[in-house]
């Protein structure tokens, strides 16, 4: 199991900064149809009644959870469609999948796109190396049709892998990555999938949202909703935070508290990247030692271990965002595996180009908070997950 520990520690999905079998759980759309909701029913966005979403222009993509860490869903590329399981990653901007050009073990153990089988494929021929926290992926670019549920994007640029690192891709169940960040972190000269989705009028509104189940099963881990928001998946009001830099979905953090004690670490301001491609909560390196000491965690074999019996007594973490305190209780940030409890954090692995302390609000945080990405108004919405 040592390789698995290393994978969970080092797998970071995003430049600079998820494969899904058919699930048995019903999607939001299926549940609404069973309730007799017409296909063209207009539902209101909770907390913002002036905006409405037409179901025909909203895609509900179910997500599968793997090892209680990663969340990924199905897309198809080509005509006829070839299916792939991908992470919908707000920490990067490029789309790539394994291809028949790639002969490495990691590629051959996954679904591979065959350009010869698609009548719509057009070769660009330009090669790139995409850098991620766990290694580099070499791709050649092409154009084809990408389908996500009822959304069809034509002439979409994507990467076909030429080589993938065996560690960790050979051992993971998803095939590729679908980047959903701003174009500035994508390949210059090519439209991201989100850009084309909007230009081709595939969405009623330029918005998408994520729900991660707090108690995921292999059959159901959550939803990514393209073009809308589902009020059934969160409670309370939506807290909106403006994007401070239109590269990543980066928002401001005004303060960080451990229990009732404010740390003062963000007195001069901190930034946080809302990243669905990172599993853990990342902490600026200069704060890590003090953070672990405050929690009574001990580093053992690259893990930050705490006494499982003491977890209910551990402090709640608080992020001050847009004037509100967002709590993260120990039941969320402490992970239990085979009787061992660890704090689900790591050091932030990307540099802060603004000079302000940089956090990454990964899946540990996003299990607690339903996240909404508003492309028109450059803001992120957070609400307590149902």
For residue 313, is pLDDT > 90? yes
Which helix (H) or strand (E) covers residue 282, if one does?
strand 281-283
- 275 counts as catalytic: yes
Determine the average pLDDT of the residues in 83-104.
96
Active site residue 89: yes
- What pLDDT does 78 receive? 98
- Given a cut of 80, is residue 217 above it in pLDDT? no
Residue 30 confidence (pLDDT) above 50: no
pTM assigned to the model: 0.86
Res. 56 pLDDT band, cuts 50 70 90: low
Q: Using alpha carbons, list the distances in angstroms from residue 148 to 85, 123, 366.
A: 11, 22, 22
Catalytic option among 175, 230, 275, 374 = 275
Average pLDDT value for residue range 362-377: 96
Return the percentage of the chain with pLDDT > 90, whole number.
74
Among residues 48, 89, 230, 374, the one annotated as catalytic is 89
Angular region, 224: left φ>0, alpha ψ -120 to 50, beta rest: beta
Domains, the chain, in order of start with CATH, read 2-230 (2.40.70.10), 232-385 (2.40.70.10)
d(CA 326, CA 321): 7
**If pLDDT is split at 50, 70 and 90, which confidence band does 261 have?**
very high
């Amino acid at each position: 199991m040592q390789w698995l520990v290393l994978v969970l520690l080092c797998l970071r999905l995003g430049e600079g900064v998820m494969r899904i079998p058919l699930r048995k759980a019903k999607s939001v759309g299926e549940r609404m149809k069973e309730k007799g909701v017409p296909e063209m029913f207009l539902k209101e966005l909770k907390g913002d009644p002036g905006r409405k979403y037409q179901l025909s222009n909203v895609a509900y993509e179910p997500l599968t959870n793997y090892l209680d860490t990663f969340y990924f869903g199905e897309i198809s590329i080509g005509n006829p469609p070839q299916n792939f399981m991908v992470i919908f990653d707000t920490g990067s901007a490029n789309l790539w999948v394994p291809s028949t050009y790639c002969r490495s073990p990691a590629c051959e153990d996954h679904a591979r796109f065959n350009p010869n089988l698609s009548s719509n494929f057009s070769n660009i021929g330009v090669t790139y190396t995409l850098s991620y926290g766990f290694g580099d992926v070499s791709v050649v670019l092409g154009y084809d049709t990408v389908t996500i549920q009822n959304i069809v994007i034509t002439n979409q640029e994507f990467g076909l892998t030429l080589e993938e690192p065996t560690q960790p891709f050979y051992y993971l169940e998803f095939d590729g990555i679908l980047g959903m960040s701003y174009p500035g972190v994508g390949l210059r000269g090519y439209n991201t999938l989100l850009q084309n989705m909007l230009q081709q009028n595939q969405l009623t509104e330029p918005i998408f949202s994520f729900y991660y189940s707090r108690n995921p099963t292999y059959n159901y881990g959550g939803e990514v909703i393209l073009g809308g928001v589902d009020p059934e998946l969160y409670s309370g009001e939506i807290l909106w935070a403006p994007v401070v830099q239109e590269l990543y979905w980066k928002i401001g953090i005004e303060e960080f508290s451990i229990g009732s004690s404010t740390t003062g670490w963000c007195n001069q301001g901190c930034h946080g990247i809302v990243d669905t491609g990172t599993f853990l909560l990342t902490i600026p390196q200069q704060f890590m030692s003090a953070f672990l000491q405050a929690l009574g965690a001990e580093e053992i074999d690259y893990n930050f271990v705490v006494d499982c019996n003491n977890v209910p007594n551990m402090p709640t973490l608080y992020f001050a965002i847009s004037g509100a305190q967002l709590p993260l209780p120990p039941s969320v940030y402490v992970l239990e595996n085979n009787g061992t409890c660890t704090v689900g954090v790591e050091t932030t692995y990307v540099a802060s180009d603004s000079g302000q302390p940089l956090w990454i609000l990964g899946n540990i945080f996003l299990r607690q908070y339903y996240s909404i990405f508003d492309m028109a108004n450059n803001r992120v919405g957070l609400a307590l997950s149902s």
